Structure 1
Amino acid sequence: MRFKKLDLNLLVALDALLTEKNVTRAGERVFLSQSTMSNALSRLRQYFDDDLLVQVGGRMELTPRAELLHEAVRDVLVRIDTTVAARPAFDPTESEREFTLFVSDYSMEVLIPGMLALAHQRGSRVRFNFKQQVGQPHRSLERGEADLLIIPSNFCSPDHPLDPLFDDRFVCVVWQDSPLAQGTLTMERYLQARHVAMVPADGGLPVFDTWLANDHGLSREIGITTYNFSAMLHLVVGTDLIATSHARLAHLLRGTLPIALLPVPLSMKKLQQSMQWHKYRSRDPGLIWLRDLLREAAAGMGPCPGEPGSPLTPIR
């Protein structure tokens, strides 16, 4: 089929080429040989009168025209896929569909086990593929790489629908035998301590430190960085380090770790965790079922522990 003299079959090849920036990998992505994909690239270059992919050093890079085409082509293909693949009904006890969710290790600890338990209780046969969060996660929705994101609301894209799931707050976590566990954790003691921080996958400044600087004009001394939230709580054990952690995660792990939980000595915003999906998939019956399941799992978590009025004390 052609549209304005363009063979529409080439759009799939174009999407693969612009995503992989490599002819061989693009062919593997869409199950075409290298020679067939090379031929497709030649035809695309001729149609658009542009190189699309150019050699820069040891790798291929997109031309400015290709950069403009990339998101537009992906958007078209996602829209076609969601329209053609849509089913009028969804039965989780019969379906073996796989859902891909981008989830932090924090949400994997506090939310996902409850969701999986509910799915099991109801005889669900669906499969789940959990992937690590990445920078600009909404791009994963737009490229069709994720069915659902579970992320803080302030990181959600304004271009796609979202639904809040649960709230959380922050607490300080120290080893129960650390001097920091004795007495009141003042602002002075907090800022003088060495901290454990989780660094995002893209290598940027830890989210908490960005907030600390922007809202309070403060900075802290980071002694250790790690790649997930749960590890922070393990790494304070046996040290004088301090971790500023999600309260739900800290309360979950305090039964297995010799840690003390203390109030953060400054005013803190609440964290709201939400789920987000592609705007073209709002009527997908399978995703509607999954979103309902996550809402129920989140409701089953109950209120955030240590809400204001319930002071935290060292746990020994």
Structure 2
Amino acid sequence: MKNKVFKLKSEYKPDGDQPKAISQLLEGLEKGMKKQTLLGATGTGKTFTIANVIEKWNKPTLVIAHNKTLAAQLAQEFREFFPDAAVHYFVSYYDYYQPEAYMPVTDTYIEKDAQINKEIDRLRHATTQSLLTRPDVIIVASVSCIYGLGSPEEYEKVNLKLEIGSKIGRTDLMRKLLAIHFERTNADLNPGTFRSIGDRVEVMPISETFVYQIEFEGGKITKILKVDPVSAHVLKEEAGIFLFPSKHFITDDESTKNALKNIKLELAQQLKKFEKEGKLLEAERIKRRTNYDLAMIKEVGYCNGIENYS
């Protein structure tokens, strides 16, 4: 039997109908049943029952709730049941989303607009990084989890492994950080940003709220400190760290070239369609917007709304 990675902590034990429900759910999993239903009234301990199933089944688990509020509540409950596991909250990061629209009555064009919640974006990155690095993961998500985030293989492939003694200079490290979509700043650090101070680079991982101070001497890393960004107190001295990309949509150069080619072909087809229908205004809009997005993808590997091209 494989090592037990989930340890349920609770002052309560399964009682009433719960032991029977747990046994039957586990039996269904062992038989390979794809669908099972746990039916119970409010307050009968359905979440606790499922927590027992997770502990005994001992595999990473995805829990999908139908709205953000319920997902947050469930995430908190699972954190209490599994304090040593990586329990994550994964929902849509849009605080506001206005899709592109056209009102023919008033001849009004409304551009797509969106506002991303940076804290939820940080939590989404923490989720994906735990999936790649830990076996004890429980993700509580909304339906946002069913949409693609790019290639997991490419995302994992480009992470930076930094160790004391690594032969890399300050400038080279900054180039590598920019290549995985970190942003340079001279102000206070936020997740996904870095700054250079003398022979030191300070970087805040996209999924965290602490800072890594990386010191260099003679083209090598000599010290890596984990620091509280508010108090500047050193939390820990690290021997090595991993830094994952600050964007989920990571693609290799060949795939990017193929994608750009296909987008251009589809644009040409759509432009012909609009021109044939006499929709010259619509043709001009889609041409301008798509060409701008293509230029952004080509230069920096990302554009706002890139998920629309996936």
What TM-score range do you get, normalising by the shorter chain? under 0.3
Q: Which has the higher contact order (CA 8 A, sep 6+)?
A: 1
* TM-score, structure 1 as length reference: 0.25
